[in-house]
Homo-oligomer: A and B are copies of this chain.
Amino acid sequence: MPNDHFLEDLAPGRRWTTRSIEIAAEDIKAFAALYDRQPFHLDEEAAKSTFFRGLAASGWHVASLTMRLLTQDGVPFAWGLVGAGGEISWPQPTRAGDVLTVFSEVVEVTPSRSRPDRGIVTLRNETRNQRGEVVQILVAKAVVPSRAATAVAG
């Protein structure tokens, strides 16, 4: 998807797909060592007797990799991918060796009533593994400028 889209250029149903990234066991452990020091993210052996029954990536690692995939080939919106927030869930664990790809779709475009220079684009981002299983669903609200914003900022 090309960069520099304004609110007027986007409509529900618009889709794009990122490239893919493989997540290695060392990546899972390195992220966890910094941000999520729980046994199921740090050590294969210790992970066996946990809820996950084996090493699994931190959900925040999956979220961060999803953001990497969404941003690395350029962001579709004129101000970048500025998230106001969203809903996130992890229906399946992500395991070492998984290859992740993000499938995004615009579900709603809402111009701001109070600020004509912007609006909110609701994006549903499914992160899937190499078997097509959804490992994360992120329904994100992004702040996107309208063409009126260029006139002001111009």
Residues in chain A within 8 A of chain B (CB atoms) = 31, 34-40, 50-52, 58-61, 63-65, 67-68, 71-72, 75, 79-90, 137, 143
* Contact partners of A143 in chain B: CB under 8 A: 51
19 contacts between A and B (CB under 8 A): A35-B64, A35-B65, A35-B68, A37-B68, A37-B71, A38-B80, A39-B80, A40-B80, A50-B79, A52-B82, A60-B60, A60-B64, A83-B90, A84-B89, A85-B87, A85-B88, A85-B90, A85-B137, A87-B88
* Contact partners of A86 in chain B: CB under 8 A: 87-89
* Contact partners of A61 in chain B: CB under 8 A: 64
Minimum CB–CB distance from A90 to chain B (whole Å) comes to: 6
Are A81 and B38 closer than 8 Å at their CB atoms? yes
* Contact partners of A79 in chain B: CB under 8 A: 50-51
Minimum CB–CB distance from A82 to chain B (whole Å) comes to: 5
Find the B residue at minimum CB distance from A60. Answer: B64
Find the B residue at minimum CB distance from A86. Answer: B88
* Contact partners of A87 in chain B: CB under 8 A: 85-88
Q: Which of B36, B52, B63, B72 contacts A60 (CB 8 A)?
A: B63
Find the B residue at minimum CB distance from A93. Answer: B82
* Contact partners of A71 in chain B: CB under 8 A: 36-38
Minimum CB–CB distance from A2 to chain B (whole Å) comes to: 16
Q: Which of A58, A75, A85 has the most CB of B within 10 A?
A: A85
Q: Which of A52, A75, A87, A143 has the most CB of B within 10 A?
A: A87
